[in-house]
Amino acid sequence: MFFKNSDVRYFDPASVVIIFTLLFFETFPNNISDFEAATLPVIPKSIFLLIRFIRCLKPQLCPQGSRIRLAPQKDWEANKPEQLNKVLGIYENISSDTGASVADVIVLGGNVGIEMATGSKVPFTPGRGDATQEQTDAESFAVLEPHSDGFRNFHKSGVNVSPEEMMLDKAQLLNLTAPEMTVLVGGMRSIGISASGYGVFSENTDTMTNDYFDTLLDMSVEWKPNGTGNSYEAFNRSSGEKVRAATRSDLVFGSNSQLRALAEVYASSDSGDKFICDFISAWNKVMNADRFDIQ
């Protein structure tokens, strides 16, 4: 059992205040001895460690803290360390020159990219803070390394759970609805975001369009597994020529009846404005998901 019998005790109002403070304030000791003398008479050690673990979970979903620049996140395979290091170098220079936090610069950089790809304004609310390596328990974070991310078409070999199920789980963690998950995947693929390169159907990845859904629902091709277990190749039904490739995370938007209905809405020739508007709304929701100060 995680809790010892001696840990089950009455919490007075002071303990509630301390727990709230430890959960939501940025500064948190890596060494329990820093707070042990002051807090353990009120808060059991096991609960203190549980609070520490909950705080490790919180920044995994959103940019608050910009811990993607710290170990162990900066070295995770899903984050493409070499590419990430180049981008972070630029962002850190901008942060140093402007006084903005790296976390804010990361979000703003994404917003600018979307604005360039869509021609539409993307809302931005500053105020994020940066964590330090000393505030980050690398050992606790290590167990949170993603083995699959359908939004980026990343899936490690040897994972027994299907990519589309892992994507659905990630969407649930981000508190996304089915339409929000759908439009985010379609928008990201249309601008070339795919770790494997699969699912990118647009000829011009500098512009965000609904081409992804239009191409995905194309009935002139037949999809066949390519032997990997998680990806497929599309062959023209007339010529037999291979024309594109996609993963299970992509094809689920055509095979699942509920997701297909959403894909058909976004694939419509007159849905361009709705597609862009919905994407920006879903993007902004994720970027501000841990901004408890503005909700």
Q: What is the pLDDT of residues 145-192, one digit of tens each?
A: 999 999 999 999 889 999 999 999 999 999 999 999 999 999 999 999
Q: What is the pLDDT of residues 23-71, one digit of tens each?
A: 444 444 444 444 444 444 444 444 444 444 444 444 444 457 899 999 9
Q: What is the pLDDT of residues 262-272, one digit of tens each?
A: 999 999 999 99
Residue 232 is inside which H or E element, if any? strand 231-236
DSSP state, 73?
G
CA distance 67 to 131: 6
Q: What is the pLDDT of residues 201-235, one digit of tens each?
A: 999 999 999 999 999 999 999 999 999 889 999 99
Is residue 22 a contact partner of residue 48, using CB atoms and an 8 Å limit?
yes
What is residue 42's predicted lDDT score, i.e. its pLDDT? Answer: 44
> Which pLDDT band holds residue 20 (cuts at 50, 70, 90)?
very low
For residue 290, pLDDT over 90 is answered with no
